Structure formats: structure tokens, C-alpha cells
Amino acid sequence: MLVFRPVTEQDLAAVHALAAQSPVGVTSLQGSRARLAERIRQSESALSGDIRFRGEERYLFVLEDSTSGELAGVAGIDASAGFGEPFYCFRNDTLSHSSASLGLANRVHVLTLCHDLSDASLLTAFYAGPGAGRAGTELLSLARLMFVACHPQRFADTVVSTMLGVTEADDVSPFWDSVGRVYFGIDYAEAERICGEHGRRALASQMPQQPIYVPLLSESAQLVMGEVGEEARVGYDILYGDGFEVEDYIDAFDGGPVLLGRVSALRSTAASRTWPVASGAPEAPEAGTEWLLANTGTATFRAVRARASLEAGMLRVGPAAMAALQLGEGAWVRALPCGEGQ
């Protein structure tokens, strides 16, 4: 059974291995081993604290195969997208240029570097390895949001997620080549490596504040603006299905879309409920329905995907899932029935 749980120091080597497999655009996984170790310490510290108000906390979780003990994925969420440094992205804007004397006017599409989303919470560090499968990938993605539902005081009302943009062979980003390369003269992969080590502010803060006139970008760059890269398609579909929406923002590096989700409107947070749990639910594949199940702990937070059935105000769950969730009879479980496609 795949179990979603907080990362621990003992996971460093496995997380480092997963990070090495992740696409180059997953900035938060591009740093050194030391950087990952620091990220794990930050998560452990955040989970052990009695947090009343969100701040600089950064949480990191892993997806573990409880049978083999191997990690199948990693995912994080930052309480504040822009706590230590602003959260940079481009906002799609329109400028009107007009000449009253000539009676002419034009509307021009521009990209404006902004920090609009700095106050939101941020989904980060998402990578599902081949062992996760579609179901595990959904668990890895949505269990973070069930953690948010369990601990709303730790997060903002809005959660954002930057999706990987379109890249070509050899990690070439058409958007970066038309924008970032103009400013910094380096490859996209090198830019991500620098940001992985030093944070996105390292380069984003040096991007000029003036609007970028979209008509001047290469045609290939314009085509990929706001488009999801193939490697992020599954993750995008999961979040979109949960209620995340595409608004006016794109990533400042690869032009991928930035998704926004209101916690009050997301299925995983607004439609999940807590029930007392009872052991003994059918675990046969044909019995009951599949749910995403999570305990309500912090450092002990666990989530699994398992069959369960709602009976007389209690959620009956199989013993394996009960054990994985570290729940006893009558404990509270947050549960979300898997919808279509989940």
C-alpha cells in the first residue's frame, strides 16, 4: 500500500534520488543534497511546532510503498509562497496604446513581473516516480490538500501551484530562450540549477520590472505561454479536477500556467469530511468505494487510498489501511470519496 507521510531525515538519500529523476523545471528539487537536507529539517520543524498562524513553514511529504519501504514520490507545500522571498511570476496584462491625434488605438498583450501571489500557500517539489502510478500520483497530490483541510490555520485561503511548462529535447524551453535568455544569457537548465540552489529570487529579482511585449517574443515562445508540459499533464489534470483554475499568471521561467485554488472551493478541502473510523470494511476490490483517507495529525499525518464504506455515521476501513493510517477504533479520519477519474 502506498502511504503518504511527512518526510524524515532518514529519507534524505531516497528523496535525493527522486529529486535527481525529477524534471529540470521542478526548481525546489534541483538543489544540492545539502539543500534537500535543509528542506527536510524545515519540514520536521514546521510539523513539530504548534503553529497558530502561517509563516515561513515549509512542509515536505513522501509517498512510501509500505511493503518495500521504497519511496515513490515527493511533494511539498509552503505555508506562504512569498515569505522569505517574493513569489515571482508573470501576469498577463493588456496595455492600450493610442494616438488621439491620429484617432488610432491598439491593445497590446504584455507580461508583467509581479508578486501578486506571494500571500498564497504554494504547492511545491512535486514528483511522482514510476512506482506511483496514476492512483499514487493522485494521492501524492491531493493528500497535501487534505493536510491543509486538517490544519487550515497553517495555510492561506488560496493555494497556488506552478505547473511545468513546455520544454523540448535537451531541456530547451522556448519561453526561456525568448525571455530569460535575453536577460541572463544562460540555458534554461542552468537557470533552474541556480534557482534550485539559491532560490528563484536569485534570477527573478534581476528580471526587469518593465512589461514584456508579447508580440516581440518568438512565435514558439508565444505558443507555449500558459501551456502545460507533457511531464506535468497528469499533475495538472489532478489539480484541475480538484477545482484549481487557470487565471492570469504564468511561470516566469518556462511560461507554464500558475493554478489557483480557493481552499473553500477545492474538492479535497471543501468536500472532504471527518468521520469516526471503524475497522472491518471490505477490502476486496469489488466492495465499497475508494476513498482518500487521512488521519488528522501533523507530524504523524498519514494518508492512503483505500476502499471504505460509510455505515451509521462511521467509516468502515480495512485493517491494513487502519494500520497505515496509525488509527485506532473510533479515531477520526478525514475522507474524500474518489471521484470520476480518481
Partner 1 sequence: MMQVRLAQGGDRGALIQLDGGRCAGFGRLGVEVHELSDWLGGPAGTGTAVLVLEDARQALCGYALLGTPAVAAHFRRGLCVRRVPFAGIERALPTLSLVNDLTGAGQLHALRVGGGVEPSAGAAQLLAACQTLASAEPDRFGRRLFATLPGVRDDSGDSLLWQALGRHFAVQGSDFMATDGALLAELLPQHTLFSGFLPEPARAALGEVGDAHLDAQEWLRAALWQESDYVDPFDGGPVLVLPSQGAGR
Residues that bind partner 1 (CB under 8 A): 95, 97-99, 101-102, 104-106, 108, 178, 182-186, 194, 198, 202-203, 206, 208, 210-213, 215-217
| Closer of 184 and 332 to partner 1 (Cβ) | 184
CB of 181 to partner 1, least distance (A): 8
| Closer of 95 and 287 to partner 1 (Cβ) | 95
| Closer of 105 and 287 to partner 1 (Cβ) | 105
| Closer of 201 and 262 to partner 1 (Cβ) | 201
CB of 254 to partner 1, least distance (A): 18
CB of 205 to partner 1, least distance (A): 9
CA distances from residue 277 to 5, 119, 192, 219, 295 in whole angstroms, order as listed:
19, 35, 44, 55, 10
CB of 60 to partner 1, least distance (A): 25
CB of 184 to partner 1, least distance (A): 5
CB of 222 to partner 1, least distance (A): 12
CB of 1 to partner 1, least distance (A): 43
Report residue 130 as a C-alpha cell.
514510476
| Closer of 70 and 197 to partner 1 (Cβ) | 197
Is residue 81 a contact partner of residue 87, using CB atoms and an 8 Å limit?
A: yes
Give me the long-range contacts of 172-176 (CB less than 8 A, separation at least 24).
173/25, 173/224, 173/253, 173/254, 173/255, 174/218, 174/220, 174/221, 174/223, 174/224, 174/255, 175/217, 175/221, 175/224, 175/225, 175/253, 175/254, 175/255, 176/253, 176/254, 176/255
Which H or E run includes 139?
Answer: helix 133-150
Question: What's the CA angle centered on 117, arms 334 and 342, to 5 degrees?
Answer: 35
| Closer of 21 and 106 to partner 1 (Cβ) | 106
| Closer of 130 and 185 to partner 1 (Cβ) | 185
- How does strand 104-114 pair with strand 121-128? unpaired
The runs of H, that is alpha helices, within 225-318 are 233-242, 267-270
Report residue 294 as a C-alpha cell.
487521512
Tell me, rounded to whole angstroms, the distance of Cα 198 from its chain centroid: 20
